[in-house]
Amino acid sequence: MNNRTPLFAVPFRTALLALTSLSLASGALANTGTDTVTATGTVPAPTVSVVLMTDAATPADFGTGYALNQLNNSTFAYGSNFLIKLTYANVTTNVSLALSGSQANYLLAYRHTPSGGTLTSDVPFSTSVGTATASGTATDTYASGATTTAFNAFGTSTGATRFAIGAKSTTAAVTSLSTTITLTATAN
Amino acid sequence: MRRRYLAVCLLLLSCASAQTVSVQILTDASLPADFGVNYPLGQTRNDAYVYGANFIIGVSYDLPSSSSLTLSLSGSQANYFLAWTVAGSGIDQAMGTALGTAVSGVSGSQSNVYYRQDGTLHLLAGEATRYRIGARATPAATADLNTVITLTLTSN
């Protein structure tokens, strides 16, 4: 009765061999070591730059002089056409354009001809030149539009919108026009 | 007889538990030091990766049997791409890509040796490969970058 072997008893030698093979197996398992650093950085800052360019086969910087010559009280007199060249980086939403400038006793305006579009009537400076969806980075891209929209896209110089700035004097004007016109590009 | 089996068993168990590897991110200096926890990248960009300072990789191991060592970097943050590069290579490498050839046939014990991307370990820091971690933001990124990057050394 007392010499009967229990059901789950395993000979000692067998148990030892099993343990040995287990330890060999664990010796082959992968082992890892780690070290960490915390990378930090600031979110990109949008940048945009804008240049007025001549309306030529090879556009060049327009420079600083924009002549309107003889003005009159009845209609806007316009200068030569220019293109708007833009370079931007890290933009997430859009780029918008605006013209500003004034002189007492003169009204200032702009007009534009999108590629394949029509020449607009006089647009006051208070009216936004336009906004185009933009994302990421672009270099030397031109403001372009469609039909009556001055600016809602980017493209090559050949497809760019032609802009011109004009002025009309009021009867109170006694001095010549000489004022700085600013084209502002805003990212996001 | 029982004692002899037990001794063999304990010996093998102790050998297995002695297998250790450790890795450290070190400064690229004539006397490399622990890089610490901060890895600043400064102003990130949308159009290119911006990389931080060089670091080198220090390895220590205690391996009873011939093993192979591999290294990788991991870490991520929404709206950012993270990468590593070998200084001067100009190649952006994705996180998870092995940092170089595995070091094969490693056994015994060694402390503070430096890894080179051709799969060799060196006693002189000057022989080590210079790595950098970088990030590029997507246009959707509105939060600053702040994420843990882990360097993992695996032996098998």
Classify the phi-psi angles of B90: left when phi > 0, otherwise alpha if psi is within -120 to 50, otherwise beta.
left
For B105-124, letters b (16+ CB in 10 Å) and e give ebeeeeeebbbbbeeebeee
Cα–Cα distance, A85 to A51 (Å, whole number):
5
Q: Which helix (H) or strand (E) holds B77?
A: none
Please answer whether residues B75 and B148 qualify as being in contact, where contact means their C-beta atoms are separated by less than 8 angstroms.
Answer: yes
Strand partners, B103: B69
- Contact state of B41 with A92 under an 8 Å Cβ cutoff: no
Residue A108 to residue A124: CA distance in whole angstroms: 7
Judge: B16–A24 Cβ closer than 8 Å, yes or no.
Answer: yes
pLDDT at B18: 63
Question: What ipTM was predicted for this assembly?
Answer: 0.81
pLDDT value of residue B148: 97
Distance CA B85, CA A63 (A): 43
On chain A, the residues whose CB falls within 8 A of the CB of B20 are 31, 33
Q: DSSP code of B129?
A: P
* Model pTM score: 0.66
pLDDT value for B47: 84
Residue of B24, B49, B79, B145 for testing the chain A interface, max A β-carbons within 10 Å: B145
Are the beta carbons of A142 and A83 closer than 8 angstroms? yes
Give, for all 188 residues of chain A, the pLDDT tens digit: 444 544 445 444 544 444 444 444 444 568 999 999 999 999 989 999 999 999 999 999 999 999 998 999 999 999 999 999 999 998 888 999 999 999 999 999 999 998 888 888 899 998 999 999 998 889 999 999 988 899 999 999 999 999 999 999 999 999 999 999 999 999 98
Per-residue DSSP letter, B124: S
Arithmetic mean of pLDDT over chain B? 90
pLDDT value for A59: 96
**Which amino acid is present at B153?**
L
pLDDT, position B58: 97
Nearest to A27 among B9, B16, B40 (CB): B16
Is the distance from CB of B131 to CB of B114 less than 8 angstroms? no
pLDDT at A29: 66
What is the CA B118 to chain-centroid distance, rounded?
14
Q: Which residues of chain B have pLDDT under 50?
A: 1, 3-16
Tokens, residue A123 = 């647009």
Question: With contacts defined as CB-CB under 8 Å, which chain B residues touch A39?
Answer: 39-41, 52, 75, 82, 133, 135, 145-149
- What is residue B96's predicted lDDT score, i.e. its pLDDT? 93
Alpha-helical (H) ranges within chain A are 12-27
Q: What is the DSSP string of A94-149?
A: EEEEEEE---TTEEEEEEEE-TTS-----EETTS--EEEE--EEEEEEEEEEETTE
Per-residue model confidence (pLDDT) at position B12: 44
Beta-carbon separation of A30 and B143 below 8 A? no
Q: What is the pLDDT of residue B7?
A: 42
Interchain contact, A24 vs B12, CB within 8 Å: yes
Residues within 8 A of A (CB atoms), B 69-108 only: 75, 82
